[in-house]
Amino acid sequence: MNTVLLDKNRLDRKHFNCGIEPLNNYLKLMASQQAKKDNSRTFVLEDHNDNSRIIGFYTLTMVPIVLTALPDKLQKKHSSSTSAGLIARLAVDKRYHGRGFGEWLLIDALRKLVAASDTVAFPLVVVDAKDGAKQFYQRFGFQAFQHAEHKLFISIADVRASFS
Ligand SMILES: CC(C)(COP(=O)(O)OP(=O)(O)OC[C@H]1O[C@@H](n2cnc3c(N)ncnc32)[C@H](O)[C@@H]1OP(=O)(O)O)[C@@H](O)C(=O)NCCC(=O)NCCS
């Protein structure tokens, strides 16, 4: 399995349904435009056994670090850092839920972010876990920011260590 950059001319986005309309609409209406402007990159996983239907996708970009939202120890450590990698969206089509694709996409996204951080260093990965997905990310070691319970983070060092 591997993810590819979203190609709106080839992939059928209109049948994608993860159960959350804003995420469906992002894939259908926004993802490609945002990539064209170099604001974010969206990667998709296709089902080659079913007319290249989209199984799931994630979107990566960067986000400013709000130092005061970090635990005290990390505020000091990252006081000169400005940006974190952001998994801005991650979703799996309802037909494929519960088959490990969400976990696979998250690991794939983290691998890409670790590779990116080897070139343009950044110390954290952030996710926006709206829509009841907080526990999904906590299972992989993400922890909530202070005063922002839907935003979670993990250090690139911890992700790198978990891969080695
Ligand atoms: C959240 C989502 C990506 C999970 O995808 P999935 O392919 O169904 O998940 P997986 O099959 O890979 O599940 C991996 C593990 O996480 C658990 N899990 C899945 N969804 C979860 C959730 N919302 N909360 C807590 N745990 C969850 C599974 O039970 C599984 O655990 P197990 O290995 O012990 O069985 C998917 O349900 C989805 O697209 N939801 C709508 C969009 C969304 O909420 N996106 C996240 C916010 S951007």
Domains of the chain, with CATH numbers? 4-163 (3.40.630.30)
58: closest CA among 27, 33, 80?
27
Residue 151 phi/psi, 5° resolution? -100, 130
Q: Which residue, by CA, sits nearest to atom 27 of ligand 1?
A: 136
pTM: 0.95
- Supply the pLDDT for residue 149: 78
Examine the pLDDT at 130 and tell me if it is beyond 80.
Answer: no
Calculate mean pLDDT across residues 17-29.
Answer: 96
Q: Is the pLDDT reported for residue 152 higher than 80?
A: yes
How far is the C-alpha of 82 from the C-alpha of 147, rounded, in Å? 19
CB of 21 closer than 6 angstroms to any ligand 1 atom? no
